[in-house]
Amino acid sequence: MEGAAALFAHRSPTKIAVRNFREKGAKKGEKRAQKKGSCSVLFKQFYLGCLAHASYIIGDETTATAAVIDPQRDIEQYIAFAAEHALNVKHVFLTHLHADFIAGHLELRDRVGATIYLGAAAKAGYRFTPLHDGDILEFGRVRLKVLETPGHTPESISIVVYDLSASDTQPHAVLTGDTLFIGDVGRPDLRAALGWTATELGGLLFDSLHNKLMALPDGSLIYPAHGAGSLCGKAISKETVSTLGEQRRLTNRKRRLTSPTTPC
């Protein structure tokens, strides 16, 4: 791998419960995990309504390091947040190659020297670190574990987030990109121009959902890359965060209300 090979390690997957955390007085969209007398893990969602697009920054105050996931083209908000919390943006992830907006990963690379990470199946005209299933990036109290979750696109990944100050076995959240939305899943019919049929990608999406994401604990928070109004899904909720358990229950309710011959 390029740039950050020493930071990666393969670990066995674990199935456990998680707990939510919010610091009193935290700004909207910002979550903070903190033990008394220690530094914090910071998490913030940025939502751009006109594109129904969600991006994220995860920071560790101990190492003054931050990672940005699926950034907007305008990177000033990430730079400002990092400066406010004395963080350096060293990593930038794309959960997939976005076709509906221009991402800001190249701007973050050029502005602050951030390393770019994409799924191993991605093809791009710039240097990036390819991520395989089970790859782990750790900085301070943050652990980011990669799941390859193709379906919406062949190179799609999801990122499981751990706060090591709370637990080194219990994941806090999963950033699902366009694989799993709140109330919907990513469309598998948008890559025909690249030679992929909806049937082929639909099969990969089914496996990603049931064998990867649904294997995580019910309490895992789901943070997708899009909300209601995005063309990447057909029935996305206006909510921008949920739990895996709630989405599992929603899916089961839909199945009970739908005939066996009708896709859910």
The residues pairing with 211 across neighbouring beta strands, listed in sequence order, are: none
- What digits encode the pLDDT tens for the residues 193-243? 666 777 888 888 888 888 999 999 999 999 998 766 666 656 677 888 999
pLDDT of residue 235: 65
Q: How far apart are CA 30 and CA 167, in angstroms?
A: 20
pLDDT of residue 51: 85
Query: Does any domain span residue 99?
Result: yes
pLDDT of residue 97: 85
CA distances, 264 to each of 7, 154, 185, 203 (Å): 40, 22, 10, 14
Which residues span the domain enclosing 82?
Answer: 39-257
Query: Does any domain span residue 263?
Result: no
pLDDT of residue 130: 97
pLDDT of residue 88: 98
Structure-token match 């990944």, residue found: 157
Strand order in the sheet with 40-48: 30-34, 40-48, 53-60, 65-69, 88-93, 115-119, 129-131
Tens of pLDDT along the chain (264 residues) come to 233 333 333 333 222 222 233 333 345 455 554 444 456 899 999 998 888 889 999 999 999 999 999 999 999 999 999 999 999 999 999 998 876 668 899 999 999 999 999 999 999 999 999 999 999 999 999 999 999 999 878 889 999 999 998 988 989 999 999 888 887 887 776 665 666 777 888 888 888 888 999 999 999 999 998 766 666 656 677 888 999 999 888 766 555 444 344 333
pTM of the model: 0.78
- Among 2, 48, 40, 45, smallest CA distance to 23 is for 40
Query: Does any domain span residue 16?
Result: no
Strand order in the sheet with 136-139: 136-139, 142-148, 157-163, 173-177, 221-224, 242-243
Q: Using an 8 Å Cβ cutoff, are 115 and 91 in contact? A: yes
Strands 157-163 and 142-148: antiparallel
Query: Does any domain span residue 195?
Result: yes
Q: How far apart are CA 108 and CA 227, in angstroms?
A: 24
Query: Does any domain span residue 8?
Result: no
- The total number of structural domains in the chain stands at 1
Query: Does any domain span residue 18?
Result: no
Query: Does any domain span residue 2?
Result: no
Residue 237 sits in a domain of what CATH number?
A: 3.60.15.10
Query: Does any domain span residue 164?
Result: yes
Q: How far apart are CA 200 and CA 49, in angstroms?
A: 31
- Among 132, 229, 121, 117, smallest CA distance to 181 is for 229
Q: Nearest 5°: CA angle at 26, between 179 and 46?
A: 35
Structure-token match 């800001």, residue found: 104
Q: How far apart are CA 157 and CA 174, in angstroms?
A: 11
pLDDT of residue 210: 86
